[in-house]
Chain A
Amino acid sequence: MNPPDTSSALPFDRPVDPDGSERARSLYRSIVAHRTRTLLLLAAACVLTTIIDISVGPSGLTLGEIVEALFAPADASPAAQVILWDLRLPTALLALAVGAALGIAGAEMQTILANPLASPYTLGVSAGAGFGAALAIVLGVGVLPFAGEYLVPVNAFAFALLTCLAIYFLGTIRGVSSETMILAGIALLFLFHSLLAFLQYLASEEALQAIVFWLFGSLAKATWPKVGMVAAVVAVVLPLLLRDCWKLTALKLGDERARSLGVHVERLRLRVFLTVSVLTAAAVCFVGTIGFVGLIAPHIARMLVGEDQRHFLPVAALCGALILSTASTASKLVIPGALFPIGILTSLMGIPFFLYLVIRGRRRYW
C-alpha cells in the first residue's frame, strides 16, 4: 500500500529547505547558549553580591580595610582580620551554600512531586528541623550527647531527616504517588507546628527567645566548619542528581510518559527524595527557617532557563544563592548596627517579587 500524498493535509508541511538541518542545529545551540549565558550571568551576580555582602557591616570598616584584610591579611589590623575572616566571610559563604542547597532541594521536590508548591518549607521539613532545634534548646538534650555548640544543629538535622523519612514511608504505603507524599508532608507540617507550640508553651522565657530567634532564621552563627559541611553536601549531591538529569526531565512530562520512555518512576522518585532530604536537612539545620528560598528559587530558574535539568538545577542553585546573599546584605542594612533576622527579610523581599513573576508570567508549566 502506498502512503497517500499528505503534503496538503499536514499543518506542519512546508517547502523542502535544503539547509533546514543546519538551521535547526544552530537553533539548538542558541537555546543552550542562552542558558549558558544566564548561568554565567547569575554566577557573576553571586560573586558581586558576595563582595557587597562582605563589605557591609555594623563595624564600619572601609572598603580599603576590607580589601587589605582579604588579600594581605598580615598587613591588616587584627580587628579587620577577625571581622572579615571570622564573621563576614563565613556568613556570606554560608548564605551562598544554604541558598544553593535550598534552591536545588526545592527544584527536585517540585520535579519529583509534580507540584509547584513543593519545597522544604511546605513539606514540613523546616518545621521538623524547628521542632528538633526547640527540643534541644528547651530540654538541653539531643540525639547526639556532648555535641556542644552543635547540639541544636545536630538535633535540627536529625529531625529534618526524620521528617523526610516519615514522608517517604507514608508515601510508600500507597505506591509512591506524589499526592500521598505531599499530603503526608503537609500533615507533618501541622504536627510539628503544634508540637513546637507545645514546647514554646513549656519553655522558660530565655529558651522561648532562643526558639523564636532560631525560627526567624539567622546566619549569625556562621563558622567555617558549617560552611564546609553545607558546601560539601551540595558538592556531593549535585553530581548525583545530574546523573539522573534526563530521567528527571522526562518525569516532568508525567509519570506515565516517563514510564513509556523506560524510566522506573517509583525508584527514581524515592532515590531523589532521599538525596534531597539530606541536602535539605543540612541546609536548614544551621540557619533555621529560611524555607521560602526553596519555593521561589526553582520558579525563577524555570522561568529563566526552562526545565532541562542540566541547566535548571544549577540555575536553581544560583538563584537560591543569589537571593540569600542579597538578603544577607540587606539584613545588615535594615537596622544599622544590628543583624536583622534573615528569614523575615527573605520572605518580605521575596514575596512581592515572586507574586510579580507569577502574575506576569505568561507560560503555563503546571
Chain B
Amino acid sequence: MTLDVRNLAFGYNGSAVLRDVGLTLRPGRMAALVGPNGAGKTTLLRCILGLEEAKGEVLLDGRPLRGLAGPERSRVIRYLPQTAPARAALTVFETVLLGRLHSLALRVGESDLQATLAILEEMGLDEFGSRYLDELSGGERQMVFVTQALAEEPRVLLLDEPISNLDLQNQLDMLETIRRVTSERRIATLLAMHDLNLAAKFADEMVVLQSGSVRAAGAPAEVLNAEMIREVYGVVADVRLADDGLPTVTPLRSLRRRSQAA
C-alpha cells in the first residue's frame, strides 16, 4: 500500500511543530527520516498514525486513513515508538503475540499461535520464545519489538529511531533485517534515524526534516550534500560519493559559536 502525506500541519499551544509536510511511502521501499533533534520527526510519525490530531491528509492508497476504525488502522500501520526498553515479566513469545492484540481472546486461538511462531522463526527468534524480556540484550529486545510490529502483517511501518541504543553490529543487523522484511513483505517503511551514513547505505529514499518542514527528499545521493548539512545541522561536513555510488558524510566541525571557543 502507498501512504501519502499531504499538507500535514500540527502545533502545540499555538506554536507550529510541523508545517505543510508532504511525503510518499511506497510498498517495498524504505525511507529514512532524518533531521536535527526537535525537527519534529517523532511528532510526524505520531501524526501520521493519528495519535495526534493534525491538519492535512494522510491517504492510504488514496483513501483517508482517518476513515479506518482504530483496530483496523493499527493493523495496517504499525508504529514502533522510541521508548526506554520495556521491563515487563513477559516472555518473548507473549510479547510478539501481543502484536496481534485485536484477535486475542482469553483462550489464544490456533491461528494466532501459528502466526506468532511463523514470524518468530522468520526473524530467527524462535529459540528465544520462552525467555523473559529481561534476559535479553538491548539489541535482542529491540528485535523482539520489531518482530511484534510485524506480527499482524502491517502494510506500513513507522519506526522511531530503532537503532539509537544499539551497538555497531546490532545497528547493521537491525537495518539489514528491516530492509529485508520491507522488500520481502512489500511494506512501506519510514524510519526515523540520526546516522546519515547508515541512512544513505540502507534507505531507498531520504526525507530531511528541518524545523517541522521537509527540507529535501529523494535518493540519498541527491539529498546529501555539504550545503544541506551545513544549513540543516549547522555542521561543516565533507560529503563524497564512494565507489559504489553511495554518499559518505564525514562531519568536520560544528558552526555553533560555543564549540568554536572551546
A interface list, Cβ under 8 A from B = 1, 3-4, 6, 9-14, 20-21, 23-25, 27-28, 30-31, 242, 245-247, 249-250, 252-254, 256-257, 259-264, 302-303, 306-308, 310, 363-366
Contacts and interface: CB of A to CB of B under 8 A. Distances in A.
Interface string B121-141: 101111111101010000110
Nearest to A21: B117
- Residue picked from A4, A31, A262, most chain B C-beta under 10 Å: A262
Contacts of A256: 81, 83
Interface string B67-109: 0001101110011110110111111011100110110101000
A24 B139 contact: no
Contact of A249 (B94, B114, B117, B127): B94
B173 to A, nearest CB: 5
A243 to B, nearest CB: 8
B89 A302 contact: yes
A25 B83 contact: no
Contacts of A365: 87-89, 134
Interface in B150-207: 169-170, 172-173, 176-177, 179-180, 183-184, 204
A31 B93 contact: yes
Nearest to B151: A261
A249 B78 CA distance: 18
Contact of A250 (B70, B101, B176): B101
Contacts of A264: 70
B101 A11 contact: no
Given A20-B121, A245-B106, A3 B184 contact: yes
A320 B86 CA distance: 27
A28 B106 contact: no
B125 A308 contact: no
Interface string B40-71: 00000000010100000000000000000011
B124 to A, nearest CB: 3
Contact of A14 (B51, B71, B94, B124): B124
Contacts of B91: 31, 306
Given A4-B176, A12-B123, A260-B49, 5 more contacts: A21-B117, A31-B93, A256-B83, A257-B81, A363-B132
- Residue picked from B88, B132, B177, most chain A C-beta under 10 Å: B88
Contacts of B70: 262, 264
5 contacts: A253-B86, A253-B95, A257-B81, A308-B90, A363-B89
A33 to B, nearest CB: 11
B145 interface: yes
Nearest to A28: B93
B65 to A, nearest CB: 13
Contacts of A261: 74, 98-99, 101
B143 interface: yes
